[in-house]
Structure 1
Amino acid sequence: MLNLIWLKSLITVIEQHSFQAAAIELGLAQPTITQHIQKLEEMLKVSLIQRGRSGCQPTEHALRLLPYAESMLRLQDRALLAIQSPTLKVGASSNIGIYLLQPYLHDFLRQQSLEQDKLDLLIDNNPTVADKLENAEIDIALMEWWSPKAGFESKTWKTEPLVLITPMDHPLAKLPSISKSMLAGLDLIGGESGSGTGRLLKTYLQDFQQMPKVTMQLGSTEAVKQAVRAGLGISLVFASSVADEVRHGSLCAIPIEDNALKKSIQLVWRQHPTALQKRPGFVDYLLQDNPQGVYSQS
């Protein structure tokens, strides 16, 4: 079994590029740090640190181990906090966390008493949020897609329509809606990778040989909106993400024909081993307006 103290020493040596500096940082004797690294190397049967004139450098094996070591130490911190100072950690993919969730979070916290658990919010891309949920770094996740996994429960929280956004003077801006056949032939600016829009389009346009071509991958909806406003192209986004721009007349949002292109926002939480353990209060709060949402238990 990997020793967390040894892993902490390894991480610190990598960060400090020196056994001596790592020892000072951790308040330990240098021979102790050396012993920790040696024990790790003996256990794993690989070399982890190379000494040189420019200092200590991690080997390829150490670099492979590093993210797992950091995750294990974060998990230890979370375990201690769960006992000593309970905090509910909520993760949300970027579009949900920025454009949908925050009014609900504000209202929920306003109703909380001082004695109840604190709540922290993390916003990141969908794959990162899913990984953090699986690694117990967060307790609840709201995501644009979720592949059911053992040990987790999920429910559809909301369905969010996608709209095509264009500059106000774009030829498509005059249309009341965008048909399937028209959508299939468009060039689109891409936003955040891993959001699931591509797989949604493949399902929606499965009867067409042609698919929209992604001309850029800008990484976020905010960047996409700026690019569209600048006349660099058009894109598909959450309707809620451009509500302000549409209201102020800086962007045009065109619905998809019959409002047929929607994302199901998934609310996911860890399944407790006993039925006596209640699900998190924030989950109940989010579902109170949608108690009959589509339910999945893995």
Structure 2
Amino acid sequence: MLNLVWLQTLVALLQHRSFQATADRLGIAQPTVTQHIRKLEEQLQVGLIVRGRTCSQPTPEALMLLPFAKSMLKLNDRAMRAIKGRNLRVGASSNIGIYMLPPYVRSFITAEQSPELDLVIDSNPAIAEKLENAELDVAVMEWWKPLDGFQARSWKREPLVLIVAPTHPFAQLAQVNPEHLAGMELIGGESGTGTGRLLDRYFPDGSATPGVSMQLGSTEAVKQAVKAGLGVSLVLASAVTEEVRAGSLCAIPFSGAGLNKELMIIWRVNPARPEQPPGFVNHLLGAGVRSYALASASHPP
């Protein structure tokens, strides 16, 4: 097992490039810094530092180790904070984190005795990975693959809308239906959000399911492309509130029951208190929200 103290010394040394400066920064003696590095090199059986006249330089092996060392130290810090209840890290997929979650975060952190909260916004797959790796306490996502050791609750059912430029022929429609979209090419946004699965269910005849003409990676990029007349797309209704109000985009709902996405709140189960969700989860849910446990054999939403 790699020693976290030795790794901390290595990371500091790679930052300061001086054994004495590293010792001063860590509050230890310079020979102790040398000892930590030597022990780490002996354990890994590779050289990590090349001493020079003016500064110390990392070897290629040290640079390879650096990101892993930083991740391990961050995870250690996360574990200590979690045990002491000092910090809460909440992750959100981009659309939720940008357009929906900030008011809830603000109301939570302004409440009395609420812990310090960090909000991490990334792609849906990246947030799922961070949650699995214990880099997050809670995640709010557009799609989640059930895993043992985690629980999830439905937070909101958010409608998807078709967005078009004001000059597009569809701009005058009050609603759209499968016939309008059959065979169309849509501008794609962030991958891994489950929109494709919704479309597959909405179009039981697979031959009519819309295709994707571009994969731009974010809703902001999609909105700009639609404004420029490059095509149309599907987004969460909350993601285009300002543009619709300003008249730069038209958001057209779906007919009938509509096309809705179930947004999920997921957290790692605390074995000591398995029935007690983190406080931020309760804050988001309020009262009377349907909940259900997710197991590996369950079907994803």
Code of the residue aligned with 2:9 in structure 1: it is S
Rounded to whole Å, the distance in 2 between the matches of 1:108 and 1:245 is 28
Q: Which residue in 2 is equivalent to 1:121?
A: 119
* Residue of 176, 184, 187 corresponding to 1:186: 184
The 3 A distance-change label for structure 1 pair 57 and 186 is farther
Rounded to whole Å, the distance in 2 between the matches of 1:125 and 1:228 is 21
Q: Which residue in 2 is equivalent to 1:222?
A: 220
Task: Provide, for residues 1-25 of structure 1, a one-character-per-residue CA deviation record: whole Å limited to 9, x for no partner.
Answer: 1111222233344445666765565
Rounded to whole Å, the distance in 1 between the matches of 2:190 and 2:30 is 45
The 3 A distance-change label for structure 1 pair 34 and 256 is farther
The 3 A distance-change label for structure 1 pair 26 and 244 is same
* Cα deviation, residue 138, structure 1: 2.2
* Cα deviation, residue 258, structure 1: 2.8
* Further displaced range: 31-40 or 145-154: 31-40
Secondary structure of the structure 2 residue equivalent to 1:90: strand
Code of the residue aligned with 1:93 in structure 2: it is S
Q: Which residue in 1 is equivalent to 2:256?
A: 258
Rounded to whole Å, the distance in 2 between the matches of 1:16 and 1:211 is 56
Rounded to whole Å, the distance in 2 between the matches of 1:79 and 1:97 is 24
Asked if the contact 1:161–1:259 (Cα under 8 Å) also holds between the matched residues in 2, the reply is no
Rounded to whole Å, the distance in 2 between the matches of 1:198 and 1:18 is 52
* Cα deviation, residue 271, structure 1: 0.6
5 Å matches for 1:98-113? 98-110=98-110, 112-113=111-112
Secondary structure of the structure 2 residue equivalent to 1:224: helix
1:4 aligns with 2:30: no
Code of the residue aligned with 1:237 in structure 2: it is V
Q: Which residue in 2 is equivalent to 1:56?
A: 57
* Cα deviation, residue 260, structure 1: 4.0
The 3 A distance-change label for structure 1 pair 173 and 276 is closer
Task: Provide, for residues 84-105 of structure 1, a one-character-per-residue CA deviation record: whole Å limited to 9, x for no partner.
Answer: 5612222211111222222333
1:278 aligns with 2:279: no
Gaps in structure 1 of 5+ consecutive residues: none
CA RMSD of aligned residues (A): 3.2
TM-score when scaled to structure 1?
A: 0.82
The 3 A distance-change label for structure 1 pair 293 and 184 is farther
Q: Which residue in 1 is equivalent to 2:69?
A: 69
TM-score when scaled to structure 2?
A: 0.81
Q: Which residue in 1 is equivalent to 2:89?
A: 89
